[in-house]
Amino acid sequence: MPVWYRVFAAGDVEPSPAAILQRLNALAAVSGDFGGDAAGWFRADFTAPGGAVLHLERFLSTEEGVRAELNSWAAHVESGGDDPAHVALMERIIQTKQLFTLERPDDAADADGLCVELCRSLARMTAGVYQIDGRGFFSPDGAPLLVD
């Protein structure tokens, strides 16, 4: 079963493929293949050391179905209680302008650090927060916001 990572971006600036690859290659030799259209890139496949392929997708909040997904995540956070931190995180999720999803194959656990750094970088570039299945939500500097 794959592991999923998500970045909830408040900013609407599209991170450049070159900046993403530069950050990843500062950690390990990674190749990337980006695909897109006139609206920008919407998918990227990264080949990590060891051959694992990490699949990243970029969705705009205005795309069909994305707002419903964001509302589900906001409801998930809201179910944790009315603590001010939960409320603030829920509001950030509702205000998301771009959603990034990253899929790491289950057999590529050694690529976890690369995935976390990619999420942190995207969160920094887009004024966002990130989430990792089974772990929780985090600020761009890696501080826990809500632990699963």
Tens digit of each residue's pLDDT (9 = 90 or more) over 89-104: 999 999 999 999 999 9
Number of domains making up the chain: 1
Residue 19 lies in a domain: no
Residue 49 lies in a domain: no
Residue 129 lies in a domain: yes
Nearest alpha-carbon partner for 10 in 80, 92, 112: 92
Residue 24 lies in a domain: no
Give residue 100's domain range: 3-13+56-147
Residue 35 lies in a domain: no
Residue 69 lies in a domain: yes
Tens digit of each residue's pLDDT (9 = 90 or more) over 11-42: 999 999 999 999 999 999 999 999 998 878 89
Give all strands (DSSP E) within 38-139, no chain letters. Answer: 40-47, 53-60, 98-104, 128-132, 136-138
Q: What is the mean pLDDT of residues 75-102?
A: 89
Residue 117 lies in a domain: yes
Residue 33 lies in a domain: no
Tens digit of each residue's pLDDT (9 = 90 or more) over 128-148: 999 999 999 999 999 999 988
Q: Which sign, positive or negative, has the C-alpha torsion 9, 15, 17, 18?
A: negative
pTM of the predicted structure, to 2 decimals? 0.94
85 burial via Cβ count (<10 Å: 0-12, 13-18, 19+): middle
